[in-house]
Amino acid sequence: MRRYTVRLAEKAKRTLAKVPQKEQAKIMDAIEELGLDPRPRGYVKLKGCSGAAMYRIQYGNYRIIYTVEDAKLLVLVVEVGDRKDIYR
């Protein structure tokens, strides 16, 4: 199976830095697993996004929003945040 490269956008890095340390490590594990399977069980394709298709996975109260470029084997994490704030 091919492995995808996982990158975090600057906005995702900034918001992830604000997450409590204990949760950060677990969220990073979930993000790294996207390299093995960019469309894991429970992923959701977001509606209403212009441009590239956006996907979402959940980790507790946090949401990880990302795009997948299959031709380049790239997963770009666009945003990480609490479920109450992520869609604003």
- Give the tens place of pLDDT for each residue, 12-71: 999 999 999 989 999 999 999 999 999 999 999 998 776 778 999 999 899 999 999 999
* Measured distance CA(23)–CA(43) in Å, rounded: 20
Position 71 in a domain: yes
pLDDT of 88 strictly over 80: no
Position 31 in a domain: yes
CATH number at 41 reads: 3.30.2310.20
State how many domains the chain has: 1
Position 87 in a domain: no
Res 52: pLDDT: 78
- Which three-class secondary structure state does DSSP give residue 32? helix
pLDDT of 87 strictly over 70: no
Task: Determine the structural domain holding residue 75 and report its residue range.
Answer: 5-82
Position 88 in a domain: no
- Residues with Cβ within 8 Å of residue 83, at least 6 apart in sequence: 58, 61, 62, 63
